[in-house]
């Protein structure tokens, strides 16, 4: 198969009930896209009939490619597996459960080409089909991320988005683990646009995102994009250390003035000195941990949009 213009990456975990519905809806749309495409289904270690259905689908539709993960790696990892293998000039990631309307893919592609942007975010304009719990927790998640980090993530943009080849290559080049793509992609800073869509109800089956997985995503999002908790610990260590030093000075002064019980001063001095050393050391360690962590994530520290010497087309930044 030659390299297609468009790759559609679909993570699927135990989606036997959804696959036939998804394919029936996607196929006529895909045939009208007017570009070459591949449908890259990532089977995230399903234990139901998903692998069987995908093998059958592959025989019926040549554009379908199937990648099966050995074990359930999670939504973000399944998408990453797809991004690593997708070959298109443009790559769209979409959920299998029809909560993201496949009709929007054509719109995303048109926007990317017309506005010459690298990323087109699908923004949920109406999520009334989600449960109140999901809406409240999602809102709290996006708000706190925006408050804690300096990533300009779109509120209510999930993992339904289009990315250019340059964007996908940049994402794939990042060595960091447990990345939350809906934050990594905006952090890369490529020119972007967005299209709105109405979040539909899951077409069939149950959500594959139990509370545990949602919390995992939230913790990965905060720790991946904010060092505020670590900074807080550092400051606490430094403040505690200074307070312990003050206690130490006070205990010695009180002894010299003679108004202490025998043994009190030595006890307080030892406790305060040990505490001060430990807390100050923790504060210093925190700063090195921060730098080590940033080095491990190996994110670029700047992005060149254009350099007049090496050429390339200068273009308006769409963000």
User: Using CB under 6 A, which of 17, 95, 118, 156 touches ligand UDP?
Assistant: 95
For the CB of residue 79, give the shortest distance to Mg ion in the complex, in Å: 13
Core vs surface per residue 66-76: b (16+ CB within 10 A) or e: bbbbeebbbbb
Site string for ligand UDP, 38-57 (x = CB under 6 A): ------x-------------
Does the footprint of ligand UDP cover residue 15 (CB under 6 A)? yes
99 sits near Mg ion (criterion: CB under 5 A):
yes
Strand intervals (E) in 94-213: 119-126, 157-164, 192-198
Strand partners, 64: 39
Closer to Mg ion by Cβ: residue 65 or 199: 199
Map tokens 């504060």 to a residue: 283
Q: Mention every residue, 6+ apart, whose C-beta is less than 8 A from residue 317.
A: 191, 305
Cα–Cα separations (whole angstroms), residue 278 to 79, 274, 285: 43, 6, 10
Question: Rule CB under 6 A: is residue 12 a binding residue for ligand UDP?
Answer: yes
The residue from 72, 115, 178, 194 that contacts ligand UDP (CB under 6 A) is 72
Contact flags string 165-194 toward ligand UDP, x per CB under 6 A? ------------------------------
Report if residue 124 touches ligand UDP, rule: CB under 6 A.
Answer: no
Distances, alpha carbon 270 to alpha carbons 241, 252, 267, 280, in Å: 13, 11, 5, 15
Among the listed residues 11, 102, 221, 224, the single contact to ligand UDP using CB under 6 A: 11
Taking CB under 6 A as the rule, does residue 23 contact ligand UDP? no
């Amino acid at each position: 198969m030659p390299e297609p213009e468009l790759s559609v990456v679909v993570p699927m975990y135990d989606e036997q009930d959804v696959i036939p519905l998804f394919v029936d809806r996607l196929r006529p749309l895909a045939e009208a896209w007017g570009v070459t495409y591949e449908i890259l289904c990532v089977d995230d270690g399903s234990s139901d009939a998903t692998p069987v259905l995908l093998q059958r689908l592959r025989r019926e539709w040549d554009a379908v490619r199937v990648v099966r993960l050995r074990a359930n790696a999670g939504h973000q990892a399944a998408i990453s597996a797809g991004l690593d293998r997708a070959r298109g000039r443009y790559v769209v990631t979409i959920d299998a459960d029809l909560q993201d309307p496949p009709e929007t893919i054509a719109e995303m592609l048109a926007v990317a080409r017309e506005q010459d942007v690298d990323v087109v975010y699908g923004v949920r304009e109406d999520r009334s089909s989600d449960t109140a719990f999901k809406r409240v927790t999602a809102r709290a998640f996006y708000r706190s991320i925006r408050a804690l980090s300096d990533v300009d993530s779109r509120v209510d943009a999930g993992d339904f988005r289009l990315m250019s080849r340059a964007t996908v290559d940049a994402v794939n080049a990042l060595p960091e683990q447990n990345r939350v793509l809906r934050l990594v992609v905006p952090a890369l800073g490529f020119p972007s646009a967005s299209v709105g869509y109405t979040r539909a109800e899951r077409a069939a089956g149950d959500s594959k995102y139990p509370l545990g997985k949602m919390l995992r995503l939230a913790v990965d999002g905060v720790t991946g994009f904010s060092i505020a908790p670590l900074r807080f610990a550092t400051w606490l260590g430094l403040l505690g250390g200074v307070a312990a030093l003050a206690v130490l000075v006070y205990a010695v002064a009180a002894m010299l003035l003679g108004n202490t019980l025998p043994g009190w001063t030595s006890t307080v001095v030892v406790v305060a000195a040990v505490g001060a050393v430990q807390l100050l050391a923790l504060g210093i360690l925190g700063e090195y941990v921060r730098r080590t962590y940033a080095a491990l994530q190996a994110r670029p520290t700047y992005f060149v949009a254009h350099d007049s010497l090496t050429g390339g087309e200068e273009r308006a930044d769409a963000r």
